[in-house]
């Protein structure tokens, strides 16, 4: 497959998004729209895998290397599972079809972003991935908290994007090119360092890395849990790929960038893990958890090595899979710890699935999260970052405290009143969550091969 046909997975998602906009005219309405989106995403996953690596497009603006293949497959697979869940549960009583269109457009932007090898294509695809997320966060138009969270997300994102564009303009002025392969800042001095730092600011905000994370807790807790399940995971996978691309281009000529990544990593790990402890809302807890996990991934980026960059991408996937499933459980059963009380009594299979997912985020073997942290910490130790590795391991142990708070609520808290009148369990939604749990448990077996494959892209 050559030429524009290499973008067939993106075409499929964009076409399904256009169909979703006219979901009211389809028989079956909202469920049909979500099923079409899930089918299109699954088909795009198969096509992306079949295409594999290929020659660059648009004079190198987009590249289809091993990282692109892996990220495209993961993004489309998770989108298919997510929309499968939406087809059973919906996003709101009236407007699921709009949400399906927004999800598909956001993932289309993310798939273009993981292949971007030029500053222009990187920025355009980044905004295409992010803008639908603003709307998904503020999806409840009559909910003040939802609109407030969306506004905070939008304002901080726009501000940091402008700072990133300012850095990109410096990069172009210094090197005379927008191609990532030509960004050699050797001899540029302080201006080169400033350009590099500003260029990463926008990406740090998209990843909710401290100190650019302030939008995340309010945005996640104000949004419907189903929206949070998507916004907090899929864009982060594309975002970390973009960070590793830009880091691999700039760090050889600006070695001091390791200090920026190390500082943001430590602050994110400390603040994210400690701030998660007092949270009773699962969405806020997972927001701060996401800040911490971004810090872990940036520790691997700080190494600048091929193994470290590949480990960062793999780790973000290892975080996204169980995190999405946990938030989907919260969307079904309630977003506070008290609402999850007694889950083991009314839905034991879902309770034990939640425990498995939480243990993966802690890093307990043989779950996917364990292998993600293993490769990440190994890359940091190989680079000589012993102190940073000790901090990361310590914070990983600390994180077990608030994850076990959730498990305590699921298994030992009293069942709140009103739980018997909740929506009946859905077999389709259960399959979607089960697929995510199976991936969390089973993908660790192939982690070494996956990591080696990703490393071919650097």
Read off the pLDDT of residues 113-169 as tens digits, 9 standing for 90 and up. 999 999 999 999 999 999 999 988 888 777 788 888 888 899 988 999 999 999 999
Kindly report, residue by residue over 325-379, the tens digit of the pLDDT.
999 999 988 888 989 888 998 899 999 999 999 999 999 988 999 999 999 999 9
DSSP 38: H
DSSP string, 258-318: HHHHHHHHHHHHHHHHHHHTT--BHHHHHHHHHHHHHHHHHHHHHH-SHHHHHHHHHHHHH
3-state secondary structure of 458: coil
3-state secondary structure of 179: strand
Residue among 362, 402, 155 nearest 275 (CA)? 402
Position 252 pLDDT exceeds 50: yes
Q: What is the pLDDT of residue 25?
A: 72
Residue among 323, 289, 296, 291 nearest 394 (CA)? 296
Q: Among 20-24, 294-298, 373-377, 442-446, name the one with the lowest average pLDDT.
A: 20-24
The domain total for the chain is: 1
Average pLDDT estimate for 78-88: 94
pTM for the full predicted model: 0.94
Q: What is the pLDDT of residue 90?
A: 74
Q: What is the pLDDT of residue 421?
A: 46
Q: How far apart are the C-alpha atoms of 456 and 267, rounded to whole Å?
A: 30
Q: In angstroms, how far is the first alpha carbon of the chain from the final one?
A: 23
Residue among 78, 160, 82 nearest 126 (CA)? 160
Give the sign of the dihedral formed by CA 431, CA 284, CA 236, CA 158: positive
Position 1 pLDDT exceeds 70: no
Position 94 pLDDT exceeds 60: no
3-state secondary structure of 117: coil
Average pLDDT estimate for 243-269: 94
pLDDT confidence band for 307 (50 / 70 / 90):
very high
Average pLDDT estimate for 191-197: 92
Q: Specify which residues 47 forms β-bridges with.
A: none
Q: How far apart are the C-alpha atoms of 200 and 260, rounded to whole Å?
A: 10
Q: What is the pLDDT of residue 27?
A: 72
Position 204 pLDDT exceeds 50: yes
Domain interval for residue 398: 3-455
Position 302 pLDDT exceeds 80: yes
Position 104 pLDDT exceeds 90: yes
Between the CA of residue 193 and those of 167, 184, 254, 302, 349, what are the distances in Å?
10, 12, 7, 15, 52
Q: Among 25-39, 88-102, 362-376, name the one with the lowest average pLDDT.
A: 88-102
Q: What is the pLDDT of residue 29?
A: 65
Token pair 């990591």: residue: 451
Q: To the nearest whole number, what is the mean pLDDT of the chain? A: 90
């Amino acid at each position: 497959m050559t030429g524009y046909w290499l973008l067939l997975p993106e075409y499929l998602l964009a076409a399904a998004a256009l169909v979703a906009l006219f979901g009211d005219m389809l028989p079956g309405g909202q469920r049909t729209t979500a099923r079409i989106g899930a089918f299109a995403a699954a088909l795009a996953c198969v096509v992306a895998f079949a295409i594999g690596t290929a020659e660059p497009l648009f004079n190198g603006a987009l590249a289809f290397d091993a990282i692109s293949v892996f990220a495209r497959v993961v993004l489309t697979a998770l989108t298919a599972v997510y929309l499968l869940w939406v087809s059973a549960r919906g996003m709101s009583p009236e407007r699921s079809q709009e949400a399906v269109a927004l999800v598909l457009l956001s993932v289309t932007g993310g798939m273009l972003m993981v292949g971007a090898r030029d500053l222009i294509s990187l920025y355009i695809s980044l905004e295409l991935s992010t803008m639908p997320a603003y709307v998904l966060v503020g999806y409840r138009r009559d909910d003040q908290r939802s609109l407030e969270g969306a506004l905070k997300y939008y304002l901080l994102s726009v501000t940091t994007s402008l700072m990133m564009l300012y850095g990109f303009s410096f990069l172009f002025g210094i090197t005379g090119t927008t191609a990532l392969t030509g960004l050699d800042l050797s001899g540029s001095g302080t201006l080169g360092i400033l350009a590099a730092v500003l260029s990463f600011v926008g990406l740090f905000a998209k990843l909710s890395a401290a100190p650019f994370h302030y939008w995340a807790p309010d945005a996640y807790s104000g949004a419907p849990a189903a929206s949070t399940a998507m916004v907090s995971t899929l864009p982060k996978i594309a975002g970390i790929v973009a960070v590793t691309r830009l880091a691999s281009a700039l760090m050889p000529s600006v070695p001091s960038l390791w200090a920026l990544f190390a500082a943001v990593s430590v602050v994110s790990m400390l603040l994210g893990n400690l701030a998660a402890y007092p949270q009773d809302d699962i969405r806020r807890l997972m927001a701060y958890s996401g800040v911490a996990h971004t810090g872990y991934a940036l520790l691997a980026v700080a190494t600048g090595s091929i193994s470290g960059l590949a480990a960062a991408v793999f780790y973000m996937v290892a975080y996204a899979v169980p995190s999405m499933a946990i938030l989907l459980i919260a969307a079904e059963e309630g977003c506070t710890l008290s609402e999850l009380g007694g889950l083991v009594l009314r839905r034991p299979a879902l309770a034990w699935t939640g425990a498995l997912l939480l243990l993966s985020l802690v890093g307990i073997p043989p779950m996917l999260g364990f292998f993600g942290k293993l490769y990440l910490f190994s890359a940091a130790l190989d680079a000589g970052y012993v102190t940073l590795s000790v901090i990361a391991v310590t914070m990983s142990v600390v994180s077990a405290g608030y994850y076990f708070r959730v498990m305590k609520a699921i298994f030992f808290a009293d069942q709140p009143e009103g739980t018997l009148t909740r929506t009946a369990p859905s077999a389709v939604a259960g399959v979607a969550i089960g697929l995510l749990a199976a991936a969390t448990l089973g993908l660790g077996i192939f982690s070494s091969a996956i990591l080696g494959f990703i490393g071919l892209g650097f």
